[in-house]
Structure 1
Amino acid sequence: MEKEGFVSLWMGNVDTCEELERLLATSYTDEGDFIPSIFARYFEIDRYDDAVREAEYYEESSNDLISLLEGFSYDDKIIPEFNALLQGKLLNNFNAVILLYNFKYTGNREEVENDSNFLKYLGTVEYK
């Protein structure tokens, strides 16, 4: 699913910043084998480059796409692209944003709700 020049977007609701970090944390077994993040397992993603992943937790949830994406890398390019893709509307209020750059999500799972966490894949756009 790695694809140069594309960025995939997930938004959702989580209880705390620490919970978002927990969902995105990767680890290794004692033998050195990679263990994907909970987020990756939710969306059946084998692997992504953590160096080009950005995420943010907001104390206040919002349905304003522009304010949720301001400050991320390439925001001058990705905001208009996602705005056009989503027709300027978010149907829910969200307090968490996850962006995977150089990644074109092609999985079947669109959303996951587990415990008090909800994450939804919103789409992929070109940013370069």
Structure 2
Amino acid sequence: MQTAAEKYQLNQVNTATPAELTLMLYNGAIRFIKQTKMALQENDFTKAHQSNVRVQDIISELIITLDMSNPLSENFLPLYDYLNRRLIEANIKKDVSILDEVEDFLTQFRDTWREAMALAKQAQ
């Protein structure tokens, strides 16, 4: 049985544009990085691992959804790969500073993506 919040979230995903889905992925990755850092501060290594893996899954999804016919996508592939390797390293070392680095990248990507969405909407 789904809660009202789960139904709302599922409806958001099902009705979102590809651009909005990408924004959701960035937001989700940032949220799970914050959860990972909090779990590490609480010495809850199981939860930290689970949250970190969720971020890795989101990065993998961002890689899968890249449109390689767009030259800009060719620039994002190595960046996403780098972030994924850093997440693995952070997971092994339990290193919050690495998570901070990844979070900074994702926050910049998200903010730039949000701005691009707004500009595209204005141009319509």
> TM class by shorter-chain length?
under 0.3
TM-score scaled to structure 1, two decimals? 0.22
Q: Counting helix residues as a fraction of each chain, which structure ranks higher?
A: 2
- Considering Cα pairs closer than 8 Å and 6+ residues apart, tell me whether 1 or 2 has the greater RCO: 1
Structure with bigger strand share is 1
Return the TM-score normalized by structure 2: 0.23
